[in-house]
Amino acid sequence: MERIFLILILVGTFSNLVFAQLPFEEDGSKRFRFAQTTIGGDFRYTPLIGNSYFLNSNGVLESYNLGNSAWGRLVISGWHFWGHVDFYIGLPLLKLNEIGFGDGGNAFYNNGIETGIKLYPSKVRDGKLRPFVGVSFNNTVFWQEHNNEQNQNLAKNTFPLQTGLTYVKGKNIFDIGLTYNYQNNFDYYVSKTQQENISLPQLNISLGWRTYTDWSLKDEPALLDGRLDELGKKIEKDKKASGFSIAAGLSSPFYLRNSFNSNNYPYLGDIRFSNSFIDYGIGYYIAKPDIHLNIAFRNYKSKLDVFDTEQIYQRTSLGLEAYKFLFDYQGFVPFIGPVISYDWNRMNVNVSDIENLSHSEENLRYGFVFGWDIRQDKIQWLILRTNLRWYPNYNLNINGNKTRFDQLEFNIIQAVFYPSRLGWVKKNKPKEW
């Protein structure tokens, strides 16, 4: 429900902010056309090119084929460098069919939330077909259920390669892509004690559509003739460039190192968080040194219910972060800084409805935050931000044993709102622009 709510916010935000700056236009300012945001969706089809195993009702091992599955995804992307680079996030929302096997068995296979980058050797232009190559970072997920018993949850970080074509016509962006996942062989528990080597499908074929609007380009003449620069000087003189901020964005977590389940409950599979969570922020921007202070709140959990075992791991984090913006290249403004967070961790494991483990731990954690803003001008009151948080040496002391929970949080698009700056803009920006 939270994910759907935030998607509606993002759609409304983008349709009123920065879908413009078309990368395939030749005229105009480089600054306003450096980056643009698109939104749409795609359908991803997985051919029948994998296989797994199950134990039938007589305890005999049987194999079956994996594939012929299809998903619908929401795709949000940020084009950068004048149509040469596309950072995107794909959110699976709609499963179009089931993978069945044996006598009433079902399997689930998906690449989960995908964050990636596409590179266009030739810049995207209206009316032109352009090839791309890229790589993504996602969490390949597989599990199967048979005889009313769910088998191991398999969740692996993978880096699929991709290629395809993009065609732009008017406000319509069409994509066709091929994804190759070279990491596809894994050991999988078909019972609490028996492992088999399975092969997940390596190929995905996608067909997508996205769009944009031209709302912000109406300010481009004011940039070219100096009017925006004058307003930028005035907002600094009025001491309104600094101010409080409110932010929200959709994030995905990835474990970089974790061996708790493999050491204690190997048949469960890897601990994984929910596919996505909302990253909230309240901060204060200091214009003169170009520094942003932010309080970030995140709450996410993993739940596994495999064989006769249920495991719930939840992390709630309240972090203070300070990052310095490094430079401004045509509106592309990278930043980096430290983050200190107070975290509440909870782990519960029940085996055969009997509590086997109950652990709670509160600690200060340290990490780094880095990313970039897309700034059109100094009076912009709604900014799109990409940020990543890295927590190295994230340890939990469970039953006297230290376990690594290192992770990376990837927030590809976050909307950052400056209320006081909006009020100033309404009073000082001429309506005829």
What DSSP assignment string belongs to 255-280? EEEE-HHHHH-GGGB-----S-EEEE
Residues 309 and 301: beta-carbon distance below 8 Å: no
Q: What are phi and psi of 312, to 5 degrees?
A: -130, 120
Instruction: Give ∠ CA 335-339-340 in degrees, rounded to 5.
Output: 165
Residues 114 and 275: beta-carbon distance below 8 Å: no
Which helix (H) or strand (E) covers residue 425, if one does? helix 419-428
Sequence letter at residue 68: N
Reading the chain (433 residues) residue by residue, the pLDDT tens digits are: 444 444 444 444 443 334 344 445 544 456 556 667 788 899 988 887 888 988 887 888 888 888 778 889 988 887 777 778 888 888 888 777 778 787 778 888 887 778 888 999 988 888 889 999 999 887 788 888 887 778 888 878 788 999 999 998 888 889 999 999 888 898 999 888 888 999 988 888 999 999 876 555 566 666 667 777 888 888 988 988 999 999 998 887 777 777 788 888 888 887 766 567 889 999 999 998 999 999 999 998 888 888 889 999 899 999 999 999 999 887 789 999 999 999 999 999 999 878 888 999 999 999 999 999 988 788 889 888 989 999 888 888 888 888 888 888 888 778 899 999 999 988 888 776 6
| Separation between Cα atoms, residue 386 and residue 80, nearest integer Å | 12
pLDDT for position 211: 86
- Which domains occur in the chain, in start order? 21-211 (2.40.160.20), 220-428 (2.40.160.20)
pLDDT for position 307: 87
Residues 210 and 39: beta-carbon distance below 8 Å: yes
- Compute and round to an integer the Cα radius of gyration of the chain: 24
| Separation between Cα atoms, residue 39 and residue 249, nearest integer Å | 15
pTM over 0.75: no
Which helix (H) or strand (E) covers residue 346, if one does? strand 332-351
C-alpha distances in Å from residue 247, one per residue of 309, 365, 418: 38, 22, 9
At residue 431, the 3 state secondary structure works out as coil
Residues 123 and 240: beta-carbon distance below 8 Å: no
Judging by DSSP bridges, how do beta strands 354-374 and 69-80 pair with one another?
A: unpaired
Residues 68 and 95: beta-carbon distance below 8 Å: no
Provide the b/e sequence for 310-343 (b: ≥16 CB within 10 Å).
bbebbbbbebebbbebeeeebbbbbbebebebeb
Q: What are phi and psi of 55, to 5 degrees?
A: -95, 120
Residues 253 and 407: beta-carbon distance below 8 Å: yes
Residues 113 and 252: beta-carbon distance below 8 Å: yes
Task: Taking the CA atoms of 260, 262, 268 and 274 in sequence, report the sign of the dihedral they define.
Answer: positive
> For 70-108, what is each residue's pLDDT tens digit?
889 988 887 777 778 888 888 888 777 778 787 778 888
Task: Taking the CA atoms of 352, 353, 356 and 360 in sequence, report the sign of the dihedral they define.
Answer: positive
**Nearest alpha carbon to residue 389 among 328, 318, 290:** 318
